[in-house]
Structure 1
């Protein structure tokens, strides 16, 4: 277990500055979804380029996440936090002035790297700077920020794009980050204590590079397959993901045997709860990000919703997610982790079916009231799954490896976020492409593509439910997390 250089206290004002930093990358995810149609029109982006705009951010985030945690441990968390906020501001500026999709894609990669440097410093500073009730309260605030950020991002993104302030249009959705970054930098030095480890830990450069290659080997074929008609080079790159994954595993084994700190520690990956956590992350978070991408695009490009209206249409989902997050701990205490996870999946699936039914009957003129009930079900279901994800994934991990375990799960989670838009976006684009030769209006083709994507998501969630049931039968009483309160039965 690592030791800190000196005990520090994080005051409430410092906590709020940290949480403001957390809002930056999370709001950005929602804002980009709302601004996609305007970006496509302005920069003449293809569906593949839009998928990549969302995906490269998540991939860069995932690949650099563990490295961000190590840099903060070694060189000072406040220092890396400030560097990350500055980089996020620079990347946002580059996004805002982008004159081509390739320029924008490069800036989005830089944003993802900045986010990966930023988030670990927040959790680590809370962990070492607070104790007791203050620590629990801060973690609850950290968890609930996601729902709040989602709502703010959707509403703010829609407003900024529609308001067209100074003729900037969608660019203001990125440029709005600049004053926020400046304010955080101005306050952080005075309000956030500096913390670091006594013993510096190395960064797993080979593992980080190989993980990037594995993700890209899956991401690029999924994103570009429909537009390239799934030619043999596309399929060859996809197939290459298997040997690259094996190479990554052998590299991580070698790193661990040498007493180093691998990105994905094999000793942790062998634990059933961690492997199941990977399973949940890959299926659920890919579905979540893919759903947001497809629905935002369908409502604007297909149904012709204005950006403000499209953004507001997601408010019920965000509010339901926030409410469900507050209920989640009580439900887990009463029913156990995997039961609540399965319940969340089933509620989400009911919401998906209800959304598909609603869209089929009100298309091409859906409104907020039409979408409210099904998206609220989706929001509640998602919140229950999210509330159980880390509880399950960390269940068997000893306390002295909790940091490594959290980083490992978060890496897979963010990778799935990045891949989700490519996966369901590929289903969406393929459906549009296949129906292009049919005598069907474009509006109707967008509905069919949206329903096809929802159907693919339902299949993935059904696989997740089956896997959760198998895990529940085999591991009905997961081991307790060392140093934690007694866990509830699963």
Structure 2
């Protein structure tokens, strides 16, 4: 039985990319609203950490589930349901009257995002070919840098404009008309696709991963406010048992030929372990830096949301230029060398940022921050470019999908935990010194140290590869061309 080929038109692609842009805007726009949310709902640093982390953690834990549900029940259907859920969650965020309510609503947004994201790339993959496919993937990849810039500026403008007295609530409520417009168009212009046969969702692995992530997130975020008392430290106790349980569950599923969320066999591959190290060190620092930097500028230096957003335009712009124009020209150099370059450039930017803040505080203007943020954004793009390329370098072709999903999960978990980890450093210093400059600089210095560890690991890996050229030749034969 033959069927007509599925084809995604230009307007359908625009709808899918609009959904992706909406999610990434929401991820970046939130940082400029932290001070306003804190003042309105009387939220401290701990509550803000949980608020920011709730989205990322929920997204990470549910990402694999979203992909499986789209394959099983139809990607257009799941995309539409995800947009509807995101619309509802945005409304709940916009009308929230307490921090706890806002945290729950933000987690609901993260779940909706996890249901939506896999459908976008999967639909592009199965419904476009050749030049159209390459163009669509390029547009998909470029959205991140664009969303970051637009999110900072738009968020700052909306909060400062205080339309109808909405204040920070407008950064959530603006999602509603966009979601409604997408819903009106998606059923007509996006074709329905699904996977070959149904694959069961790894519910036990997903729930265990969620509990493990929460056992790291909650004690870390609450530690400074609870003065790291015994009850707080007790929260870390389940970590090792949950790691062992997750390993046992996933190994059992893999042995039975099932589809675990984190296949244990992939951890035996060197490049996957190194990709996990990049995820833990870099993406934790990335999201943590955005959170801490926004608080330092707004709550510490007294910048308005618009000024705070403008301070990061140079970072987003340099990230976009590096990702779109520089990394393609460096495609032929060693991946480890590009990663090392990215680490060095970003560390230079972080060091310059510390010096700049110490010099111009308490009035860090947007112009003062441009040189350091340009370096940070440029280096970040180089690191992100190598993440999947390095992580999947030694993964056999037949396991590329599972490897990509595993790296994506580790990436999103790290992004979710970043605000809690660097935020805990920030809150701890602030508790003892009451100086936002000291708190911000200390958190940035911790990030600098973590990036130094990643740089050292990268140089060590590069040295080992150069000392074993025969293995590099074998790898070149078995790794898929990029």
Q: In 2, Cα distance between the equivalents of 1:201 and 1:473?
A: 42
Does residue 1:52 correspond to 2:42, yes or no?
Answer: no
SS of equivalent residue, structure 2 residue 235: helix
Instruction: Report deviation, 1:331.
Output: 4.3
Q: In 2, Cα distance between the equivalents of 1:276 and 1:335?
A: 18
Aligned to 2:208: 210
- Cα pair 1:5 1:198 within 8 Å, conserved: no
- Cα pair 1:147 1:322 within 8 Å, conserved: yes
Does residue 1:33 correspond to 2:31, yes or no?
Answer: yes
Q: In 1, Cα distance between the equivalents of 2:65 and 2:371?
A: 41
- Cα pair 2:292 2:422 within 8 Å, conserved: yes
Label 1:388 to 1:481 Cα distance change in 2 as closer, same or farther (>3 A).
farther
Within the candidate set 161, 185, 188, 1:187 is matched to 185
Instruction: Report deviation, 1:475.
Output: 4.5
- Cα pair 1:5 1:197 within 8 Å, conserved: no
Q: In 1, Cα distance between the equivalents of 2:99 and 2:331?
A: 47
Report the TM-score when normalising by structure 1: 0.94
- Cα pair 2:55 2:107 within 8 Å, conserved: yes
Worse overlay, 474-483 or 188-197 = 474-483
Q: How does 1:357-372 map to 2 (within 5 A)?
A: 357-372=355-370
Q: In 2, Cα distance between the equivalents of 1:481 and 1:332?
A: 21
- Cα pair 2:394 2:479 within 8 Å, conserved: no
Instruction: Report deviation, 1:131.
Output: 1.3
Aligned to 2:459: 469
Instruction: Report deviation, 1:334.
Output: 3.0
Aligned to 2:133: 135
Please give the per-residue CA displacement for 1:421-448, whole angstroms capped at 9, x wherever unaligned.
0010000000011114xxxxxxxx1001
Aligned to 1:459: 449
Worse overlay, 215-224 or 125-134 = 125-134
SS of equivalent residue, structure 2 residue 226: coil
Please give the per-residue CA displacement for 1:214-260, whole angstroms capped at 9, x wherever unaligned.
11111111100000011112212223212211211111000100111
Q: How does 1:402-413 map to 2 (within 5 A)?
A: 402-413=400-411
- Cα pair 1:159 1:307 within 8 Å, conserved: yes
Specify every segment of 5 or more residues in structure 2 that has no aligned partner in the other structure, as ranges. 467-471
Q: In 2, Cα distance between the equivalents of 1:155 and 1:284?
A: 25
SS of equivalent residue, structure 1 residue 249: helix
Aligned to 2:228: 230
- Cα pair 1:273 1:394 within 8 Å, conserved: yes
Q: In 1, Cα distance between the equivalents of 2:3 and 2:236?
A: 45
Aligned residues: 475
SS of equivalent residue, structure 1 residue 334: coil
Q: How does 1:236-275 map to 2 (within 5 A)?
A: 236-275=234-273
Please give the per-residue CA displacement for 1:164-197, whole angstroms capped at 9, x wherever unaligned.
0010000000000001111111111111111101
Does residue 1:448 correspond to 2:456, yes or no?
Answer: no
Instruction: Report deviation, 1:333.
Output: 2.0
Within the candidate set 161, 164, 169, 1:163 is matched to 161
Within the candidate set 247, 253, 278, 2:276 is matched to 278
SS of equivalent residue, structure 2 residue 231: helix
Runs of 4+ in 1 over 6 A off after TM superposition: none
Within the candidate set 317, 320, 323, 1:319 is matched to 317
Instruction: Report deviation, 1:481.
Output: 9.6
- Cα pair 2:393 2:479 within 8 Å, conserved: no
Q: In 1, Cα distance between the equivalents of 2:307 and 2:455?
A: 33
SS of equivalent residue, structure 2 residue 224: coil
Label 1:5 to 1:398 Cα distance change in 2 as closer, same or farther (>3 A).
farther
SS of equivalent residue, structure 1 residue 238: coil
Aligned to 1:439: none
Aligned to 2:116: 118
Specify every segment of 5 or more residues in structure 1 that has no aligned partner in the other structure, as ranges. 437-444
SS of equivalent residue, structure 1 residue 296: helix
